[in-house]
Amino acid sequence: MHKRDLRKQFLQKRLELSPGAVAVMNDKIAGFFMELIDRHPSMKTVHIFLPIASMGEVDTWPVIHRLWQKGLRVAVPVADHEKIALSSWLLTPQTKLHEGRWGVPEPEKSVRIHDNEIDMVVLPLLAFDRRGYRVGYGKGYYDNFLRLLHHDPLKAGLSFWPPVEKIDDVHEKDVKMDYCITPEGIISF
């Protein structure tokens, strides 16, 4: 399938989920995510998206709280909409957030995290395929961000559903994930 069709189909599926089903899936995803973290004991800083509630995204807050409990640093993205770029900013329990463009929560005042400090980037997605390619919202923020990093951190997506067979219109600038975590487990690419 093409990204445009997958985007439409999976956004609709996500918005049709009941709150109870979402809560169960979020809890399973958080548990498997922490299993992945435990496989990488040298991990210090995780860059993770903050969920857009109106889009029914995987709730990353349970993961963030577990990362803090393990003593890991959490970085979150702030978007530069003119450059279609992301930067990373420290998130602590005391960080105040405001709603940015498109309803994305962003820190009001924080400390910039340099790209070379990031050990893992957690990616939002609508769908993904068996090869590790993902379908996001179509703007390219995360692919741009990942291509510009001076090192190669682990890349993990979070999805309510298993992979589709193949995304037909993968672009040469699309960056593959290393892992995707679903309510069924950890998928490695």
Residue 42 has pLDDT above 90, yes or no: yes
Q: What is the pLDDT of residues 6-39, one digit of tens each?
A: 999 999 999 999 999 999 999 999 999 999 999 9
CATH number at residue 21: 3.40.50.10420
pLDDT band with cut points at 50, 70 and 90 for residue 111:
very high
State pLDDT tens for residues 135-185: 998 788 999 999 888 889 999 999 999 999 999 999 888 999 999 999 999
Distance CA 6, CA 37 (A): 29
Please, which pLDDT band fits residue 96 given cuts at 50, 70 and 90?
very high
CB 163, CB 130: distance < 8 Å: yes
State the residue range of the domain holding 40.
3-188
Q: What is the pLDDT at residue 150?
A: 82
- Distance CA(184)–CA(181), nearest Å, equals 8
Look at strands 73-80 and 45-48 and give their pairing: parallel
- The token pair at 61 is 């807050």
pTM: 0.94
Hey, what long-range contacts does 20-24 have (CB within 8 A, 24 or more apart)? 22/56, 22/59, 22/160, 24/183
Of the pLDDT bands very low, low, confident and very high (cuts 50, 70, 90), residue 112 is: very high
Q: Do 25 and 183 touch, CB atoms closer than 8 A?
A: yes
> pLDDT tens-digit profile of 56-72?
999 999 999 999 999 99
How many structural domains comprise the chain? 1
- What pLDDT is attached to residue 140? 87
Give the model confidence (pLDDT) of 115-138 as tens digits: 999 999 999 999 999 999 999 987
